[in-house]
Structure formats: structure tokens, C-alpha cells
Chain A
Amino acid sequence: MTEQSSEKVLVTLRKQQWQVEPGKTARQIMQELDLNPENYLTMINGQLTDDSARLKAGDRLKLVAVISGGSHAA
């Protein structure tokens, strides 16, 4: 796991992590990481939130993938 800089935002998607500059919305961060915001939900510091929320230094942004393969009975 990456040690988080207190001046950055830590972004987590499954086992991947990125440190990004604060001051952007979750949607902007996803777009900068070349991720389609339609494919993810956003949790900031453990709270589910709409992707227009702006992130501050030290925040943790978790991206939750929502696409499944269409099989509905495992």
C-alpha cells in the first residue's frame, strides 16, 4: 500500500493506487486518470458521495467499479 502524503489525495481502485493533487472533483480526477466516471461510484473518506465533491489534501478517494458480467446466479 502507498503511504499517503498529507498534501495529496490518495485514490484507490481495487489494488491500484495513485496520489493526485487536491482541489479537483472526483469526476475530474477520474477523467485525468483516463477512467470513465460512469463505470465507478465514489467514496470519500469512507462515505459514498456524488462525484461532484471536491477533494482536499489528505482525503482518500475510493473508486468502486459497478460493471458486472451479466451473470445473475453464481
Chain B
Amino acid sequence: MPRKCRKCARPAVINMRQHKLALCAEHFPEWVVNQTERFIKKYRMFTREDRVLVAVSGGKDSLALWDVLLQLGYQVDGLYLGLGIDGGLGYSDESRAMCEAFAAQHPETTLHILDIPAAYGESIPQMAARTRRGRGKPCSVCGLVKRHEMNRIAHDLGYNVLATGHNLDDEVAVLFQNTLNWQVGYLARQYPVLPEGDGFARKVKPFCRFYERETATYAIVRGIDYVYDECPFAEGATTIYYKELLNTLEADKPGAKLHFYLSFLRARDKEGLFANWQEEKVELHPCENCGQPTSAPGLCTFCRMLPEAVRPKVKLAHPLTFTPVHT
């Protein structure tokens, strides 16, 4: 017999060893929804007055997050960026189909779609090949495009909060990597919320305390279809290697990942880990083309990467109201 649900004694669908808690198909989703609300309040991510845009990829985390935020009654819509990645699997097409299917089942919300190849004439792999960024992998170009376009679209459509489906495994893998390399600047900025300002929308990670197996379980139990296949370019990614390494530790020491992350947040918030850390003031300027903030005068990195002919397409619909920082 499998373990029984702590609340009703029906068969459990998941046993969360770090919490010593097993729950069934009815009580586990309820627990996820309640915990998400608790994290949103604890880290002061947003309120029901905020307009939240969830970046959805068709994967388990982002679709589960969208589902939970809708259940909680937040003003939330989805944003899908089509990156033109095929990899022999029709990866982007399938991802988009999953997002559209979810949106079709939830008429109370809107899915915004930007197809990058249609908008800018090139897919992400094509941009990476032309610009020779990323040593044969398009991941750095992908990150650059996503950051730029999400912020631009959030601004243009009037959303003040950008939510992503990063889970605890994502956060711990990054924390582990930055600790191994003592990337103090990155460590100081790692937090469930990045405040808005200087032309950037507030960024939040409401799932930052859920294990990846919990978000997957939630999606399956709720009947959310998601893309099981990994992005074809993720194979061999350092993040996946660190996640596997940390799961080896977790198998022997249940709760090790959660403890690592929560101890880090405690050291940061309560023990003044970065109290003496002063981030270098970066002088921000509006990009001459798109108007978004950039650290160097002239064009931002994204606009520099685009062919000149398509640059006018990324201008903001209305100007940002950020105050350039001058040092």
C-alpha cells in the first residue's frame, strides 16, 4: 500500500520528505494554492490591485503558476514568447500549443503571444548564429531576448509585475553555482522579489519554495498538459548537472535543498550577510532605439544585436518614466 494522505487517509500522490507530509490528489493542490498565497504575502510580491503578467513557456512550472494565481483571484494574464526553436521536436510549436490550450480552458484570462521570428525575421538559433554569441548554444541570446521583450511588453500593456515559474530547484541550482564561484553581486541580488524601478517591472517568483517534483505533481493532478520534453539546447546544461547533484544530496538528506535556500534567505535578511555589500552604481540611460534602460549610452545590447532594418519594431508604445541615474 502506498502512503496515506495526512488529511484524509486516501492514497497519497506525493510524499514531501522535507516536510514529512504526504497528501492525496485532492489535498495536495489545495496545499500548493495555500502555500503560494503565503509566499506571496511573506515576500510582499504583489496584491490583488497589481496587474501580473506570467511568463509562460508551456512547461509545468509556468502553467501551474498561472493556474494557481487564477485560483487565488489575482489579476493575471500570460505572456508567451515564441522563440522559433525546433530541435527536431517542433519544440516551440508544441510549447505554444500547450499555452493556447490552457488559455482556451480559462476564458477569464488572456494569453499574449509574441512570435520572435515573425516579429524580427529570425529565430533565436538564427540570431545566435549570426551574432556568434554563446559558443554554439543560443542560451545567452535567448535570455537576452526574453529579458528585453518581457519588460517591454509588460510596460506597453500596463502590467507592473512580471511573474516567472522558477521553483526551489532552479533557485538552489543558481545559489549553488554562485556560491561555488563566490559571485557576490549575483548572490546579493538573488531573492524571491526584485523591486520595480529604473524602468524595470517588479519580478517575482511565487513558486520559489516548491520543489520541482511538487510543481510537476500539481500540473499532473490538475490535468494541465505541459511539454515534457526539455528545450533541445538544454542538454548538458550546467543547471541540470547541479540539479542532479543536489538531488543526490537530497536523496540521502531529505530537506537539504530547502534548508540551503532558507538558510541563505535568513542569512541575507536577518543576519546581514550582505549588509556591507555596496552594489556599484550603474549609470542608466534610455536606449536610443527602444527607450528601455541600458548601462551604456547609445543602443542597448538587444537593439545592437538586431539588424538595423528591424530595430524600429522594438520601440516602446509610450516612453518609460524612469529617471536615468547619473553618478
Residues of A with Cβ closer than 8 Å to B? 36-41, 48-54, 64-74
**B83 in the interface (beta carbon within 8 A):** yes
Contacts A39-B244, A71-B142 aside, 19 further interface pairs with beta carbons under 8 A come to A36-B244, A48-B217, A49-B12, A50-B2, A50-B12, A52-B3, A53-B1, A64-B216, A65-B228, A66-B212, A67-B240, A67-B244, A69-B230, A69-B234, A72-B165, A73-B56, A73-B79, A74-B83, A74-B227
Return chain B residues, CB-CB under 8 Å to A70: 166, 170, 173-174, 234, 237, 239-240
Which of B2, B80, B213 has a CB less than 8 Å from the CB of A52? Answer: B2
Separation of A52 and B174 alpha carbons in the complex (Å)? 31
Decide: B1 and A54 in contact? CB cutoff 8 A: yes
Measured CA separation A69–B239 after assembly (Å):
6
In the bound complex, what is the Cα–Cα distance between A68 and B25 (angstroms)? 23
Q: Inter-chain contact count A-B, CB under 8 Å?
A: 117
Verify A69–B251 contact, CB threshold 8 A.
Answer: no
Assess whether A74 is in contact with B12, with CB atoms less than 8 Å apart.
no
Query: Given A38-B250, A52-B3, does the pair A73, B213 have CB atoms closer than 8 Å?
Result: no
Provide the residues of chain B in CB contact with A64, threshold 8 Å: 216, 220, 228
B85, B164, B213, B237: most-surrounded residue (chain A CB, <10 A): B213
Nearest CB in chain B: distance from A4 CB, A: 22
A selection of 8 A-B contacts at a CB cut-off of 8 Å is A48-B25, A50-B11, A70-B166, A72-B166, A72-B170, A73-B150, A74-B91, A74-B96
**Chain B CB within 10 A, most for which of A49, A50, A52, A70:** A70
Task: State in angstroms the CA–CA spacing of A68 and B237 once bound together.
Answer: 10
